[in-house]
Amino acid sequence: MLKFQAPRGTRDLLPVDQLKWSVVFNKIRTVVENFSFGQIETPIYENQNVFTKPIGAQTDIVEKEMFEVRRMATHPTDSDEEKDRYVLRPEYTAPVVRAYLEHGLASWPQPVKLWYWGPTFRYDRPQKGRFRQFTQFGLEIFGEASPTTDAFLILVLWQIYAQLGIDRLITIDINTIGDSVCRPKIRKTLHDYLQKSRAELCADCRRRLDINPMRVLDCKNEACQKTVRYAPEIVDLTCPACKNHFRQVLEHLDDLNIPYDLNPRLVRGLDYYTKTTFEVRPTDDTNRQSSLGGGGRYDDLVQIFGGQSTPAIGFAGGVDRTVDYLLDQNIQLKVEERPKLCLIQFGQLARRKSLTVVSKLSDIGYSLVVSFDKEGLNAQLKYADKMGAALCLIIGQKEALAEEIIVRNMIDGSQEIVSVSKLTEVLKRKIKEITK
Ligand code: HAM
């Protein structure tokens, strides 16, 4: 048993994993850049108030899942800053809204389109696909209320999944949850219906029933699911404007041939949503246990943060789940590897010269491997072989004095003595030959 291991619910990504993640990152970046989303990064921790009200004080995330960040204080302090409480971000949308207002993005030409990729933290019970530190990528569009924008956002994420090669394997669960006009009626109707079966609900739902009865609809508890089976459907309770908005979103998705499932129980675990809400899941995950991503409209959130009323919509995908799903589906995540070049040097003078030589090699598309502790040609050739080097640059005492270098092709064993001044040129040619 090792003395230290990565904390529960977290994991290390080794170089071989990072290569796969970088393939996913690059594919996502290509798509979002095609649609002119600008990348944003926010701090990993924020004042807890950035999340509490926007996400909802009664949600699992705020009630149970946030990690607090504190200075390890040995001396109590009463400075104002220390009185604020900070938490690791459990999601990006609220911090992005904070940043949108803090940096005056409201005065940019609308819509403002942003994307992100980075670590998020939730104190969840770790299991397959559920981590305490996980990476999210996401998209947010500010300043457009049109249902076409909802469909546009879904189109962008659909293209991401198409690039990743899984668009045929996934489905979008979609619903509308109304807006500030119809929400009071939705809440009251659901509350009155569920109130009759209050005793059958789980403790969390009993507690939440009076505050947000919609949350009972997607509770995973079996007894709660049974109770809500015949509950009124939100879409039927929404106002004509919300119904019309939803109908138009669905018409667009039909036009685009994007498969969706109307899911009248989908309310999402964050309180800031209005109108369209959706989740992306593997089509065969009929239990809806491991969504690859989720999102929706949040037309009131900018105002909750103190800004002008600004319609907005967004989506976030779980990178860990997505990468694991791609691997489960045997989808290759290969990066084009650059040929490896091994720098072999023996003797003090050669060692000195070798670093100077490397410093002068301009970007010619190689990846250098080198060991400065291995003495002698054979040991270093063996190392080059183990590392899969395609070419070796060999400098001994003689070459160092003559300003020359031996370039050895490890595939066919051929060698060439090259003057240092010509090295870049020769390597370019040889690398081209190898990668042909
Ligand atoms: P969310 O549904 O809470 O939405 O999270 C989005 C995705 O993050 C999930 O679908 C899942 O793939 C991944 N995820 C969540 N929790 C975990 C976990 N413990 N371990 C691994 N992956 C996880 C949001 O966060 C919203 N901010 C999305 C959004 C953006 N809405 C509007 N804009």
pLDDT, one tens digit per residue, over 151-181 is 999 999 999 999 999 999 999 999 999 999 9
Residue nearest to atom 9 of ligand 1 (CA): 293
User: What is residue 207's predicted lDDT score, i.e. its pLDDT?
Assistant: 87
For residue 393, what are the CA distances in angstroms to 259, 303, 405, 413? 55, 63, 6, 13
User: What is residue 81's predicted lDDT score, i.e. its pLDDT?
Assistant: 58
Q: pLDDT per residue over 250-307, tens digit each?
A: 999 999 999 999 999 999 989 999 999 999 999 988 777 789 999 999 999 999 999 9
User: What is residue 362's predicted lDDT score, i.e. its pLDDT?
Assistant: 75
Q: pLDDT per residue over 20-30, tens digit each?
A: 999 999 999 99
Residue nearest to atom 2 of ligand 1 (CA): 294
- Dihedrals phi, psi of 407, to nearest 5 degrees: -105, 115
User: What is residue 286's predicted lDDT score, i.e. its pLDDT?
Assistant: 77
Q: pLDDT per residue over 356-368, tens digit each?
A: 998 888 777 889 9
Question: H-type helices in 5-146, by residue range?
Answer: 15-34, 49-55, 60, 80-83, 93-102
Q: pLDDT per residue over 96-146, tens digit each?
A: 999 999 999 999 999 999 999 999 999 999 999 999 999 999 999 999 999
User: How many separate helices (H) and strands (E) can be counted in the chain?
Assistant: 17, 16
In the structure, what pLDDT confidence band is assigned to residue 36 with cuts at 50, 70 and 90? very high
pLDDT at 53 over 60: yes
CA gap 220, 287 in Å, rounded: 10
Q: pLDDT per residue over 184-214, tens digit each?
A: 999 999 999 999 999 999 998 998 898 889 9
Residue nearest to atom 33 of ligand 1 (CA): 314
Do residues 435 and 411 make contact, with C-beta atoms less than 8 angstroms apart? no
Mean pLDDT of all residues in 25-46: 98
Give the binding-site residues of ligand 1, using a 6 Å CB cut-off. 91-93, 122, 124, 129-131, 134, 136, 138, 140, 269-270, 291-296, 298, 314-318, 320-321
pLDDT at 78 over 70: no
| Ligand 1 atom having least distance to the Cα of 280 | 10
pLDDT at 37 over 70: yes
Q: How far is the CA of 317 from the centre of ligand 1 (A)?
A: 6
Dihedral (CA of 399, 402, 408, 413) sign: negative
Q: How far is the CA of 139 from the centre of ligand 1 (A)?
A: 12
Q: How far is the CA of 151 from the centre of ligand 1 (A)?
A: 19
Residue among 91, 277, 300 to mutate when testing ligand 1 (max atoms within 8 A of CB): 91
Residue nearest to atom 4 of ligand 1 (CA): 294
Mean pLDDT of all residues in 53-73: 92
| More confident position, 435 or 150 | 150
Percent of the chain with pLDDT over 90: 83
3-state helix, strand, coil in the chain (%, to 5): 40, 20, 35
Q: How many CA atoms does the CB half-sphere of 293 hold within 13 Å?
A: 26
In the structure, what pLDDT confidence band is assigned to residue 76 with cuts at 50, 70 and 90? low
Burial track 107-141 (b if 16+ CB lie within 10 A, e otherwise): eeeebbbbbbbeebbbbbeeeebbbbbbbbbbbbb
Do residues 133 and 121 make contact, with C-beta atoms less than 8 angstroms apart? yes
Q: pLDDT per residue over 313-351, tens digit each?
A: 999 999 999 999 999 999 999 888 889 999 999 999 999
